[in-house]
Homo-oligomer: A and B are copies of this chain.
Amino acid sequence: MADLIRDSFTLPGESGYEELTLRLAKKWGADVIRDSDGTQLSDEIINSGYGIYSTICLIRSVNAWAKKNMDKLQQNFLMSNPVTAESDVVEIDPIKGYFTQQFMVNTFDDAKEFWQVFDRTSGEEVALSDWDFNKETGIVTVRNAKKYHNYTVNFLAIRLWEEISMYNHITNDWGDKEHLMAVEPMCPETQEEILRWLEEWCETHPATTVVRFTSMFYNFAWFWSDDSKKRDVLSDWGSYDFTANPIALRAFEAEKGYKMTSEDFINAGKYNQTQNAPTKKYREWMDFINRFVIDFGKKCIDMVHKYGKKAYVFYDDSWIGVEPNGERFTEFGFDGLIKCVFSGFEARLCANAEVETHELRLHPYLFPTGLSGEPTFAPGGNPKLDAQKFWQNVRRALLRKPVDRIGMGGYLHLVEPFPDFCDYIEKVTDEFRLLKTFHEAGAPYEIPGKVMILTAWGSLRAWTCSGHLHEHPEVDLINIIESLSGLPFDVEFKSFDDIKKEGIGKDVKVIINAGVLNSAWSGGDNWKDAEVTAILTEWVAGGGGFIGVNEPSATDFSTQFFQMSHVLGVDKDLGTKKCLGKYNYDVKAKHFITAQNDIIELPACDGVFVLDGSVDVLAEVDGKPAVTAHDYKNGRGIYMSGYRFSLMNTRLLMRAILYAAKAEADMEKFICDNPLTECAYYPGSKKLVIINNTGDVQKANVTTPDGVVTATIDPYDIYIN
């Protein structure tokens, strides 16, 4: 083994396949072997001299105790389905329509302390004295109801089945295998039990070098209904809905002097989706929970450290309160962060966190089928091609910012019929280690100045929106971030509060605001704050570049819909300006921004109109302005009607950023002329790396201060000069 590079790779081992495990560990240069959900490591593997990662999930680890302490399970607020009053009395069965293997009504606590009943026709709350909950029948009775109004109950539900376990159980048809439950860690007895279990676990796992937490205590929100044709009632990768419970609610009120009501969570049935701009009160609740997750999380991590093991967090599933780019993340004391990656932005999310070891879990996982049920390691699958596509996404991000390790997960034996996959992973691991060495000699060349992404969340959700790109591909910002993940820009993520508190940094050249009305990404009601608009207007007037995408700065307020319409030179008619004349523009055929995009493939935005002749319309889609440019005093406003990640759109975005920054000349330095390729130059190691992002041979020219470098690169390959 001495002649092999042997580091930075984590291999999923599998008991019963010891020979395969050790052979692939050598081939792929592993230095660590891990177990996975559903696999175990034999003594032979454990004792083979590799580092050992072991996965644990604290909240579902004490199921026997959980069964005896049903009042200490995790809870959340649910809204009942509406019931129409046909007389002045309405009866509502709150749980009706929900998946009762997941939820039961909380009958332990006094309903009137936490629940609320609403007339959803008038929007008004029903007085506490006008309703009662019968614990025996499970029915809420509303009195003095208004005829033909619809009533709902906000109630606390106890969760009977930890959601990831539930999903795997049902999807894989695990039959009568025990249902795992999630215990509520706010409860002191639960904390005792978890710490007791963890200590015992550490005692009994001496070979484990790294304990991999999955992740901490609260899963993202995932409510199921009892109707298989509408399985999800709510599915939100960033929501704090599962953190509501009597202990936390009372503690919050005791600390703040005001209470979170059920309606603060239910929010007229919309809940508090990560995609939507949050209220100040909800941000306070998140902050409160985040502090708890860190406080108790730290106790668990300290325990692991006491046993001489490292503590890594796998950032997925029960990740609420663990946000790696949140302000307090370092307080956990984690030694490493592991992130599974489909996309470049996920690699940047990981790389951006302040932690010693950054590790990526590559896709495809070694499972028979992929996320959408398509075959991967099964007949009909082509896992090598899958791996190429995902690596192509991730590699361009790794050119910009390094991580420390990569690895895989799943059932190792599944790779046996796919030798081309095994060879390809060998190539990937070598490519990864090579790129890492370049970074070791210093960061790659970046275009001077910063690009700020302005959202309601700011750095809390740096390099992410909510969930994966394939789940909400219609979210413009996640597509933009994916493009940016491989571009030579220094990107920062700021909230509206940030710019009000700190102003806009001197080094910021371009601000991007992208999203639809009321989304967290566009900003929602933050745009009703004149201070925000004035700060940004002054900044653009002074020479800044503002790029707005889809419904930037949108809120139905005052004369304009886009509050930055005077800067962008475009606004949008929601249908209430039908009779107002719209400027009859011509499309400007030649422009710096669109110079490399003969065809513009962006989503159209209905109702967008140009204010006047000072605006250059650079492209149309469906007869509507799709890309516009507008000089505003000393700065520039750029509008794009939408954004989807593609190599050609990435080029369009890069040029738009450079134009907004009045930095057009930067296109001529360390940028591939061919948009289907990208490059990075590492001044420390004096290396120029060019990558081919396509399945075809590509030629690329890169202008450097020492002349033009020309390369011809095989499909998905890499060129180094």
Q: Which A residues lie at the B interface, using CB under 8 A?
A: 79, 82, 84, 86, 118-123, 146-150, 152, 221, 225, 227, 229-236, 239, 268-271, 273-276, 466, 472, 516-519, 528, 530, 533-535, 537-538, 541, 557-560, 563, 566, 574-585, 612-613
Contact = CB atoms under 8 A, between A and B. Distances in A.
20 contacts: A82-B566, A121-B530, A121-B558, A122-B558, A123-B557, A146-B534, A147-B538, A148-B534, A150-B566, A227-B612, A227-B613, A229-B583, A230-B584, A233-B581, A273-B576, A273-B579, A275-B575, A516-B575, A517-B575, A519-B576
A629 to B, nearest CB: 18
Given A147-B534, A148-B541, A82 B559 contact: yes
B530 A149 contact: yes
A276 B84 CA distance: 30
Contacts of A541: 84, 86, 148
A234 B580 contact: yes
A266 to B, nearest CB: 9
Given A239-B579, A534-B148, A268 B229 contact: no
Contacts of A557: 123
Contact of A269 (B120, B239, B559): B559
A149 B236 contact: no
Contacts of A276: 576
A518 B575 contact: yes
Contact of A268 (B538, B558, B583): B558
- In this complex, which of A231, A534, A576 has the most chain B Cβ atoms within 10 angstroms of its Cβ? A576
Contact of A581 (B235, B274, B583): B235
Contacts of A118: 558-559
Contacts of A538: 147-148
Contact of A612 (B230, B516, B558): B230
Contacts of A149: 530, 533-534
Contact residues of A: prevailing secondary structure = loop
A148 B537 contact: yes
Q: How many copies does the complex hold?
A: 2
Given A147-B538, A274-B579, A566 B84 contact: yes
Nearest to A121: B530
Contacts of A516: 575
A555 to B, nearest CB: 11
Contact of A578 (B82, B472, B563, B580): B472
Contacts of A148: 533-535, 537-538, 541
B233 A580 contact: yes
Contacts of A519: 575-576
Given A121-B533, A148-B535, A275-B575, 10 more contacts: A82-B559, A121-B558, A122-B558, A148-B537, A149-B533, A234-B581, A270-B576, A275-B578, A517-B575, A519-B576
Given A152-B559, A534-B121, A558-B121, A581 B518 contact: no
Contacts of A236: 579
A560 B528 CA distance: 24
A504 to B, nearest CB: 13
B235 A579 contact: yes
Contacts of A86: 541
A585 B229 contact: yes
B273 A581 contact: no
Contacts of A517: 574-575
B120 A558 contact: yes
A660 to B, nearest CB: 19
A209 to B, nearest CB: 38
A530 B122 contact: yes
Nearest to A533: B121
Contacts of A576: 270, 273, 275-276, 518-519
A174 to B, nearest CB: 23
A229 B152 CA distance: 53
A261 B147 CA distance: 39
B119 A530 contact: yes
Contacts of A221: 579
Nearest to A474: B578
- In this complex, which of A466, A517, A581 has the most chain B Cβ atoms within 10 angstroms of its Cβ? A581
Contacts of A585: 229
The 3 closest A-B pairs by CB, nearest first: A232-B581, A122-B530, A269-B559
A150 B566 CA distance: 9
Nearest to A79: B559
B146 A581 contact: no
A346 B624 CA distance: 32
Contacts of A560: 120
A542 to B, nearest CB: 10
B574 A518 contact: yes
Nearest to A230: B583
A93 to B, nearest CB: 15
Contacts of A533: 121, 148-149
Nearest to A268: B559
Contacts of A580: 232-234, 269-271, 273
Contacts of A122: 530, 558
Contacts of A583: 227, 229-230
A530 B584 contact: no
